[in-house]
Structure 1
Amino acid sequence: MIRIVLVDDHALVRTGFRMILERQADIEIVGEAGDGESGLAMIKKLAPDVAIVDVHMPGISGVELTDRLRRSHSTTRVVILSMIEEAPFPRRLLDAGASGYLSKSCAADELLHAVREVASGRRYLAASIAQQLALERMSATQASPFDALSARELEVALMLASGKDMGEAALALNLSGKTVATYKYRLFAKLDVKNEVGLTHLALLHGLLDAGLRGAHAELIART
């Protein structure tokens, strides 16, 4: 039996996962948490085989939760679900100790397959994410400046680079507007950019935007 803890701040999302997973004879949901801190405590207490963790949560993020589990030598294997597929974010999570990474748009069958693969001791990456990471390794001639950002700074950077304003980023990341502003100007300093246009341009250069966003932001940059 594969014992699972769900960690996601959206109750509806957890309900959907539970409905998919509990139909399986070899899977048991042993706990749920709505934020990173309580999720981390629950995982340490229950020691499930697998934790399915959202990246963007109140308090500690999925990246920090995963890293803390790794440093505590937990045997629980983490599967991350996120709306962000672009490298280097998946790579950051794998470096933190995640065993699986899926987009929230994945099919139910892929979620089940990933859980079983990870529970058996293997890693699982969605095909699109694995391809991005492979291309990144092949084309990388130097470290990305985004590697210097903390997990939260990287989350904010990707939100802003994809066209969201600070209010939208704050809502998506469950942070206050003031906190997002602090991260914004800190990451601007680290990346040596002056504004969102410069951030978007840098993200384009390092392949952090998908094809659809590339065209829209390239037009914005051209007009600026």
Structure 2
Amino acid sequence: MIKVLVADNHPVVREGLNAALGGSDDFNVTASVGTTSELFDALEKEKPDVVLLEMDIPEVNGITALRKMKKDYNDVKVLIFSAQAEDVYALSTLRAGASGYVAKTATIDTLKNAISKVAEGGMFITNELAQRLAFDESTNKPRRFFRKLSTREVEVLKLLASGKRNKHVAEELGLNEKTVSTYKARLMRKLNVDNMVDMLQQAKALELY
């Protein structure tokens, strides 16, 4: 069962999420809070698998709260649940440490799928957003960083994005672990990122998994 902490400043939204998620055998809403101070108080007491965080939660803005969470509670996965436009905020929240972004217009099934994927260590953004991130709208062609990748680099990125560890990537591609680490460093450089979260977000944007 996935333990979820809901952080949203709207009581009706919190009650709706509690009812929707609490009625399932797959989820357990361990706490429901309306401010960032309540959020961090709850994190001290609870051990949630996933925090469902509203971008506009009071006291501290969502991205600042997200960064603090990732610093102080790094094991907790954070899924942004927001009425703000994906195009504007999704990338910035993913770069700040979120594992996914779900619009409040999404269906309950989409939200449940997102929570499950994030809890398992994956990332979640919609296919529509992935396509917009992956393609240059002015030319309708893949962004330049994708064309920089070799076939082998794409293979390594795809396997890492699917959740495989260096050892398993090496076994599947007939490489040694040191070579996989070299590929990972090269991918980060080519994709202009400095951490795995951003690299996997790029893989998602390229629809590699």
- For this structure pair, what is the TM-score category when the shorter chain's length is used for normalisation? 0.5 to 0.7
Are the equivalent residues in 1 in contact too, given 2:11–2:34 (CA < 8 A)? Answer: yes
Please give the residue correspondences for 1:1-224 in structure 2 after superposition, counting only pairs within 5 Å: 1-135=1-135, 138-139=142-143
Displacement, 1:64? Answer: 1.2
Tell me the SS of whatever aligns to 1:125: coil
Displacement, 1:18? Answer: 1.0
Letter in 1 for 2:127: A
Displacement, 1:36? Answer: 1.6
For 1:135 and 1:41, the matched residues in 2 are separated by: 41
Of residues 108-117 and 38-47 in structure 1, the stretch that sits farther from structure 2 once superposed is 38-47
For 2:102 and 2:144, the matched residues in 1 are separated by: 23
The TM-score normalised by the length of structure 1 is: 0.58
Evaluate the alpha carbon distance shift between residue 86 and residue 100 of structure 1 in structure 2; reply closer, same or farther with a 3 A threshold.
closer
Displacement, 1:73? Answer: 4.4
% identity of equivalent residues: 27
The TM-score normalised by the length of structure 2 is: 0.62
For 1:117 and 1:95, the matched residues in 2 are separated by: 18
For residues 155-192 of structure 1, the C-alpha deviation after alignment (integer angstroms, 9 at most, x for no partner) is xxxxxxxxxxxxxxxxxxxxxxxxxxxxxxxxxxxxxx
Letter in 1 for 2:135: L
Evaluate the alpha carbon distance shift between residue 140 and residue 41 of structure 1 in structure 2; reply closer, same or farther with a 3 A threshold.
farther
Number of residues paired by the alignment?
A: 141
Compute the RMSD of aligned alpha carbons.
2.0
Tell me the SS of whatever aligns to 2:64: helix
Letter in 1 for 2:119: A
- Determine the structure 2 residue equivalent to 1:160: none
Tell me the SS of whatever aligns to 1:78: strand
Displacement, 1:20? Answer: 1.0
Displacement, 1:61? Answer: 1.7
For 1:83 and 1:112, the matched residues in 2 are separated by: 17
Letter in 2 for 1:54: E
Structure 1 consecutive aligned stretches of length 4 or more whose deviation exceeds 6 Å: none
Unaligned runs of 5+ in 2: 146-209
Tell me the SS of whatever aligns to 2:87: coil
Letter in 1 for 2:35: D
For 2:50 and 2:113, the matched residues in 1 are separated by: 13
Letter in 1 for 2:60: I
Are the equivalent residues in 2 in contact too, given 1:86–1:132 (CA < 8 A)? Answer: no
Unaligned runs of 5+ in 1: 142-224
For 1:113 and 1:70, the matched residues in 2 are separated by: 22
For 1:24 and 1:87, the matched residues in 2 are separated by: 31
For 2:41 and 2:136, the matched residues in 1 are separated by: 35
For 1:131 and 1:24, the matched residues in 2 are separated by: 31
